[in-house]
Structures are given as structure tokens and as C-alpha cells.
């Protein structure tokens, strides 16, 4: 077993030649009340510990997504860093945040998700400031998650799943929020650091309402 470690703002340790059972044992031993997130792809395990910048970006973008859902009256199911795994694929991931939108009615009554029988989240958010050595896109594509957001601390990138090739294609707009300019998310993150999160969220909600009314 070999290791390699990357440093702040995320601490990452990559292990090779890790069995699926070891991955499952780690999940069970660590439990649910933890900050550490695990990613597994056919024998390669990444253990990621998010630090301040990572978590602040994650939670504020999560607030922005919830504000959009509130203002547009969308039924949104937030599953946070849900453990996604499928043994037959030998793949597992714990995204920073994930959401059910189109598939929300199918899992509305559930608090636990099993990808063996339940649909995957519609949207996954990854904060990837130090660039993971593990290709998470192949994991999420195998799970058939329609949309992936990646924020690197400076810009937001959106990737849409091409079901023909089972790979992600970079897109200039969101599948679920096509009216949302991608550059607006980093702008409001920067504003939150200047004006505070509560004040910025109020401004963002007002902006969403204006965008919605202008398209009616």
C-alpha cells in the first residue's frame, strides 16, 4: 500500500491497492458524525479532510442553492455529503453537497439512500481547490449523476453527463438552472467575505426574484 499527501486548504491522503471491504470497514468505523470524506475507485482510496476555505465555500454555495429553491418554489432535497457507493462498480464517493431536484418525488420520504435501488442525486457539488489526484468525474459518471458542479476557489465549472459516452462535458450553463450565470456564484462568495453571509444571501434572494420575474 503506497501513500501520497497533499496539503491545505484540503488535506488529502491517497492509498493504492485498497480492497472494497477495507473501504466499507472504514466507512463503518468512522461513522456518520465526521468531517473526513472518502472516495473510492477500483482499489484507489482518497481520504480528504476539508479545512476552513473548503468548508466555507461549500456551505455558502449550499446556502445559495437553497435560496434558489426557496425563491423559485422548487422542492429540493438536500443530502449533504451523502455516501454514494455501488459494489458492482467498485466505486464510492462522499461529495461536498448533493441534491435531488427532478428525482425529489422519488426519494422525498427517505432519509437514507441506497444507489442499488434508489435514483442518484440530480446535482453534485465538489469543492476542489487543491485538485484531487483521483478522477471523481469517472465515479459520478458511473453513478449516472446528471450534473456536477466544481468550484476551485476562483470559478465555478459545470459538467453535464453525456449518457452516450458516459462522460461529463463542460457546459456554459446549468441543466437545472439554465438562467444562472456561472460567474455569479464566485461573485456572491466574494461579496459574502466583504459584507457578511446574511446580508449577501438577502441580496442574492432579491437578485433571484428579479431574474425569475424578468423571464415570466
**Residue 212 pLDDT class (50, 70, 90 cuts):** confident
> What local confidence, expressed as pLDDT, does residue 2 receive?
43
pLDDT at 178 over 60: yes
Mean pLDDT of 150-154: 93
More confident residue, 40 or 2: 40
Rounded to 10 degrees, the C-alpha dihedral 11/100/152/95 comes to: 20
| pLDDT, tens digit (0-9, with 9 covering 90-100), for 37-61 | 999 999 999 998 888 889 999 999 9
Alpha carbon separation from 83 to 75, 105, 114, 153, 178 (Å, rounded) = 22, 20, 9, 24, 27
More confident residue, 99 or 1: 99
> What local confidence, expressed as pLDDT, does residue 35 receive?
82
Other Cβ atoms within 10 Å of 72 Cβ, number: 14
Beta-sheet pairing, 3-6 with 147-151: unpaired
- Contact (CB, 8 A) for 17 and 1: yes
pLDDT at 3 over 50: no
Residue 162's DSSP bridge partners are 167
- DSSP letter at 163 equals T
**Residue 214 pLDDT class (50, 70, 90 cuts):** low
- DSSP letter at 213 equals H
- DSSP letter at 66 equals H
Report CA torsion sign: 64, 154, 136, 145.
positive
pLDDT at 96 over 80: yes
E strands present in the chain: 3-6, 10-15, 37-41, 44-50, 77-78, 84-86, 91-93, 97-100, 123-127, 147-151, 156-162, 167-171
Mean pLDDT of 85-98: 96
Residues 6+ apart with CB under 8 A from 172: 158, 182
| pLDDT, tens digit (0-9, with 9 covering 90-100), for 16-31 | 999 999 999 999 998 8
Spell 87-99 as b/e; 16+ CB within 10 A means b. Answer: eeebbbbbbbbbb
C-alpha 55: how far from its chain's center? 12
pLDDT at 5 over 70: no
Specify the pTM.
0.90
> What local confidence, expressed as pLDDT, does residue 215 receive?
65
**Residue 11 pLDDT class (50, 70, 90 cuts):** confident
Amino acid at each position: 500500500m503506497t501513500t501520497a499527501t497533499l496539503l491545505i486548504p484540503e488535506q488529502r491522503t491517497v492509498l493504492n491497492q485498497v480492497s472494497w471491504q477495507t473501504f466499507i470497514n472504514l466507512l463503518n468505523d468512522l461513522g456518520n458524525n465526521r468531517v473526513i470524506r472518502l472516495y473510492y475507485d477500483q482499489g484507489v482510496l482518497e481520504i480528504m479532510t476539508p479545512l476552513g476555505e473548503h468548508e466555507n465555500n461549500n456551505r455558502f454555495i449550499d446556502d445559495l442553492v437553497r435560496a434558489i429553491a426557496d425563491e423559485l418554489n422548487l422542492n429540493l432535497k438536500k443530502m449533504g455529503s451523502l455516501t454514494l457507493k455501488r459494489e458492482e462498480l467498485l466505486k464510492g464517493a462522499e461529495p461536498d453537497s448533493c441534491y435531488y431536484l427532478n428525482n425529489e418525488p422519488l426519494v422525498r420520504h427517505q432519509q437514507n439512500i441506497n444507489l442499488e435501488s434508489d435514483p442518484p442525486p440530480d446535482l453534485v457539488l465538489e469543492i476542489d481547490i487543491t485538485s484531487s489526484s483521483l478522477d471523481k468525474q469517472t465515479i459520478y459518471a458511473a453513478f449516472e449523476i446528471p450534473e456536477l458542479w466544481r468550484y476551485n476557489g476562483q470559478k465555478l465549472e459545470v459538467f453535464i453527463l453525456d449518457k452516450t459516452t458516459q462522460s461529463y462535458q463542460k457546459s456554459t450553463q446549468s441543466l437545472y438552472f439554465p438562467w444562472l450565470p456561472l460567474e455569479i456564484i464566485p461573485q456572491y462568495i466574494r461579496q459574502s467575505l466583504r459584507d457578511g453571509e446574511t446580508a449577501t444571501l438577502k441580496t442574492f434572494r432579491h437578485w433571484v426574484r428579479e431574474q425569475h420575474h424578468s423571464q415570466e
